[in-house]
Chains A and B, each alone.
Chain A
Amino acid sequence: MKQQYWVPALMLMAGMAGSAFAAKTDITIGMQLEPPNLDPTGGAAGAIDEVVYANIFEGLTRFGSDGSVKPALAASWTIENEGARYVFALQSGVTFHDGAVFSAEDVKFSIDRAMAEESTNAQKALFANIDSVEVIDASTVAVNLKQADGSLLFNLAWGDAIVLDSATAENAATLPVGTGPFAFDKWVQGDRIEIVKNDAYWGTPAKLDKATFKFISEPTAAYAAILAGDLDAFPNYPAPENLAQLDADPRYSVVLGSTEGETILSTNNAVAPFDDVRVRKALAHAINRGEIIDGAMFGYGTPIGTHFAPHNPAYVDLTAQSNYDPEMAKALLKEAGHEDGLTVSLKLPPPAYARRGGEIIAAQLRDVGITAEIENLEWAQWLEQVFRGKDFNLTIVSHTEPMDISVYANPEYYFQYDNADIQELMEAFGAETDQEKRTAMLQQAQQIISDDYVNGYLFQLAKTGVANSKIQGLWENSPTQANDLTAVYWED
C-alpha cells in the first residue's frame, strides 16, 4: 500500500527536477471573484470574461490589448449599403472543442439567440440595431442593420457577442465549448478553473499547455498566496497597499495599466439640490482628485475631467475645468442659496475605491459646507436602491464598460441627465461611419457633459497586476475585462 503512493511521488519529483531546466508551460492566475457561471452571453459578471474571453470563446471580432478591434472568427469583412450591411468572410478550418465544425450557421444562431425576446444577454443593447443575420454560404455571413452603424465591429468584439454552437449553447454555463486556443478542462467550484491548450486551434497556437484560475477574495490571503508561490500572477491585484513591497521583491514584477473604468461621483441630476448646475459645479470644485487617488488608491489612478478613458485617442483632458477650488465651491453654493450648508446622501457600493474614496470625499465636502451622510450598501442593494430606484443624491461607482459615454443620452439612466444636445449628438454618432467625424463627436460629447458638470469625475481605475518576473505576454491594460493568455509564456 505504502509503495503505491511512493512510486508516483518519486516519478513526480523526478519530473519536477527535469522540468526545472526547461521553461514552465503552465500558469496559475489569481482572481478575486469566482465567475458564477461560464456563459458570457447570460450574465454581466466580469469574472466570466476574465476566464473565457479570447481563451475559450471567440466572436467575429475581438479586442486587442490596446483596445483596438481586430478580426477573430471573421477573417475579413466588407461594408455595403452605406454602412447598413456588413458581410463577413469567416476563418476556414475552425472547429469547436468538441470537434463540431464552425460555420456561418453558428454565427446566425448566436446573434439571433442574443437578440431574441427571451434572451438573458446582459448587453442586449449591443444587438438592438441588428435587423437580421443572413447566411450566404458556410463561410460567409451578412449582418443587416436597421440603420447605418459605425459601432458594429466594436459591439461584436464584446464577450457578450461570442459565437456558440447550437448543440452546446444550453450548457455553456457549466460546460463551455468554444473555438478558442484553450479548452475548458475542470472546475472545482469555489476553488479553481483549469483550462488546457486546444491542439486543434485554427490560429496561432497558445504557448502554454495549461492554465489554472484560482479564486481568492480576501486581499491578505491573495498576498500570502503570492508570497508562498501558490500563484504565478494576479492580474487585478486587489490590495494596492502591498504593491510597493511586491515591486521591491525581485521575484515579482508589478504591472501597471489602465482599465475602462471611469470612477465617478455619480450625481442625481433630477433631484434637489443637484438639479441645479451651480450646485453640481460647486461639487466638482470641492473635490481634490489627487487626495482621493493617493488616499483611496495608494496613488494608482489617472485623474479624469469627463466620462472618457484617458488612453483613448479621442480623450480630451478637461480636468482643469473642474480643478480643486474650495473657495469657488463655497461662492457657488452661496449663489445657489445654500450658504447655510446642505445635507445630502452618499451611498457607497462595496469596492474599496468607493468605500475609501467616499470617506475622503465626505471630508472634502464638509470643508465647503456640504454634509454627506454615508450609507454603505451591498451590490444587490445598490442596484435596487440607487441604480434602479434612483433613490440617492450621490454615489461612487466605476463605469467599467468600454466607450460608455452614450449612457448620457439616456435620460432614464440612474443619474437622470436630460439634455437634448447630447441625445441628438449620440444619435448622429451611432449612424456615422467616418472615423474622424466620430472622434470629433466623441470629443464634443465630453465637452458637453463637462460643461454641465453632470457627475463628479474622479479618476480612471488603474489595473494593478502582479506577476512572476519571468512571465511575458500578459495584458498590461484592460480594454475589456479579460485575461487573454494566447501570447503568454515563461522566459527560460
Chain B
Amino acid sequence: MLRYVYRRLASLLVTLFVASLVVFVVIEVVPGDPASYMLGMNAQPDTVAALRSELGLDQSKPARYFHWVTGMLQGDFGQSYTYRTPVADMVSDRLWISLPLALFALLLSIVIAFPAGIWAASRRGGLADTTVMGFTQLGIAIPNFWFAMLLVLFFAIKMRWFSAGGFAGWDEGFFAALKSLTLPAVALALPQAAILTRVMRSSLLDVLGEDFMRTARAKGLSQRQALLRHALRNALIPVLTIIGLQFSFLIAGAIIIENVFFLPGLGRLIFQSIAQRDLIVVESVVMLLVFAVVMVTFLVDLAYAWVDPRLRHRA
C-alpha cells in the first residue's frame, strides 16, 4: 500500500513541475503588457516604464519564473498587478465561494444520482428505469447556463425568493451565503446528476451480472440486500472516477454559471485576470487548479485502493 502511495505521490510532483513550466511559458507568450493595460490610452511612455519596474516586469523571464516558483514553494504567490493585493488573499477569497459551490453541487448531484441510479438498476427495463433514463437524457441535453437562466427567471424574477445572483459573503451569515449559492448549485448539479445516474446504473447492472451476485442470492439474500451489500461497493469504482472528474470540473469549470449568477468565484477571477493581463494571478490560479485536479486524482486513486483490495496488493 505504501509503495502505491509513494508512486502516486512521485507522479504528482512531476506533473506539478511540468505544469508550472507550461503555464508560465504559455501565459508569458500571450501578447499584451499589463502596465500599459492599466494605464490606458493617455499614459506617457515614462509612466508605463515606471509602472513596469514597480511591478517587476522589467526583469528577465527566467528570473521571473524562478522568483515565482520559489515564492510558491514558500507559500508566497506574489502580488496582483491590477488589484495590488496578495494573490493568496484573492484566491482564498474566491476559493471560499468556488469550493463550497462545488461541494454543494456535488452533494446535490450525489443525493439525486445514487438513489435514482440504484432504483433504475434494480428495476431494469421497468417503468422506473425508463422514466429515470428519460430524465437523465434531458439533464444531459439541457445546457446548464440555459437551465440557470430559467431558474433565475422563475425563482428570482417571478417569485423573488432568491437574488438574481451575486454573493452575500460569509460574514453576512451562513444561511445568507448558502442562499446565494443555492440556485447556482442546482444549475450545476443537474447535468452532473444526470451523468452520475447513468454511470451508477450501468455500473450496477454490470456487477449484477457477475457470478458472485448469483452466489449471494443463492445464500438466501434478497435482491435488495444483495444489491446494497455486495453490488454497490463493487460498482463504486467507475462512479468514484466520475465524481473525481466532476469535482475538478466544478471547481474550475463553473465559469459560465459564475457569469450567469455574477458570482465572484475562481473561474471569473481567471477570466478577468486574462483580460487585464494580470499574469501573476492567472499563473498562480491555474497552478492552484492544476494542484487541485492532481490532488483529487490522487485521492481518487487512494479511494480505488480502499474499495478494491486487489490494487493495494498489486502495487
A47 to chain B, nearest CB (A): 11
Q: Chain B residues near A100: list those with CB within 8 A.
A: none
**Which residue on B lies nearest to A385, using beta carbons?**
B31
Q: Specify which of B54, B85, B152 is in contact with A228 (CB 8 Å cutoff).
A: B152
A221 touches B164 (CB 8 A): yes
B36 touches A224 (CB 8 A): no
- With A124-B47, A190-B93, A218-B262 in contact, is A228–B37 under 8 Å at CB? no
Q: Specify which of B85, B152, B166 is in contact with A191 (CB 8 Å cutoff).
A: B166
**Which residue on B lies nearest to A414, using beta carbons?**
B41
A 372-394 binary contact with B (CB < 8 Å = 1; else 0): 00000011110111011000000
Q: Specify which of B31, B44, B82, B165 is in contact with A125 (CB 8 Å cutoff).
A: B44
Q: Chain B residues near A384: list those with CB within 8 A.
A: 31-33, 36
**Which residue on B lies nearest to A171, using beta carbons?**
B84
**Which residue on A lies nearest to B169, using beta carbons?**
A188
A44 touches B165 (CB 8 A): no
A220 at the B interface (CB under 8 A)? yes
Query: In the complex, A37 Cα to B93 Cα: how many Å?
Result: 16
Query: In the complex, A336 Cα to B268 Cα: how many Å?
Result: 50
Q: Chain A residues near B50: list those with CB within 8 A.
A: 117-120
Q: Which of B236-260 contact A (CB under 8 A)?
A: 259-260
A430 at the B interface (CB under 8 A)? no
Query: In the complex, A45 Cα to B34 Cα: how many Å?
Result: 12
B33, B39, B260, B262: most-surrounded residue (chain A CB, <10 A): B262
B60 at the A interface (CB under 8 A)? no
Q: Specify which of B149, B259, B265, B274 is in contact with A217 (CB 8 Å cutoff).
A: B259
- With A189-B83, A215-B262, A228-B152 in contact, is A124–B43 under 8 Å at CB? yes
Query: In the complex, A118 Cα to B166 Cα: how many Å?
Result: 38
B32 touches A217 (CB 8 A): no
* Binding-face segment, B11-19, B113-121, B155-163, B200-208: B155-163
A43 touches B38 (CB 8 A): yes
B277 at the A interface (CB under 8 A)? yes
B107 at the A interface (CB under 8 A)? no
A122 touches B277 (CB 8 A): no
- With A45-B40, A378-B32, A380-B32 in contact, is A190–B47 under 8 Å at CB? no
**Which residue on A lies nearest to B163, using beta carbons?**
A230
Query: In the complex, A190 Cα to B51 Cα: how many Å?
Result: 24
A 118-145 binary contact with B (CB < 8 Å = 1; else 0): 1111111100000000000000000000
Q: Chain B residues near A21: list those with CB within 8 A.
A: none
A120 touches B51 (CB 8 A): yes
A44 touches B42 (CB 8 A): yes
Query: In the complex, A380 Cα to B32 Cα: how many Å?
Result: 5
A189 touches B47 (CB 8 A): no
A173 at the B interface (CB under 8 A)? yes
Query: In the complex, A123 Cα to B264 Cα: how many Å?
Result: 30
A224 touches B157 (CB 8 A): yes
**Which residue on B lies nearest to A214, using beta carbons?**
B166
Q: Chain B residues near A228: list those with CB within 8 A.
A: 152, 156-157, 160, 163-164
Q: Chain A residues near B9: list those with CB within 8 A.
A: none
B262 touches A216 (CB 8 A): yes
A 211-244 binary contact with B (CB < 8 Å = 1; else 0): 0001111101100110111100000000000000
B46 to chain A, nearest CB (A): 8
- With A118-B50, A401-B42 in contact, is A189–B33 under 8 Å at CB? no
B262 touches A221 (CB 8 A): yes
A 67-106 binary contact with B (CB < 8 Å = 1; else 0): 0000000000000000000000000000000000000000
Q: Chain A residues near B167: list those with CB within 8 A.
A: 188, 190-191
A44, A229, A399: most-surrounded residue (chain B CB, <10 A): A44
Q: Chain B residues near A125: list those with CB within 8 A.
A: 42, 44
B165 touches A230 (CB 8 A): yes
Interface residue ranges, B against A (CB under 8 Å): 31-34, 36-44, 46-47, 50-51, 54, 82-85, 90, 93-94, 149, 152-153, 156-157, 160, 163-167, 169, 175, 259-265, 268-269, 272, 274-277
Closest 10 CB pairs of A and B: A190-B264, A44-B40, A380-B32, A36-B82, A228-B164, A228-B156, A224-B164, A380-B277, A173-B84, A122-B39
A-B CB contact pairs (8 Å), 7 listed: A117-B50, A119-B50, A188-B264, A190-B268, A191-B166, A191-B263, A216-B166
Q: A124-B43, A379-B275 are in contact. List 16 more A-B contacts (CB 8 A).
A: A43-B40, A44-B42, A122-B39, A122-B40, A124-B46, A188-B264, A189-B93, A189-B264, A190-B265, A191-B166, A191-B264, A216-B165, A227-B164, A228-B152, A380-B33, A380-B275
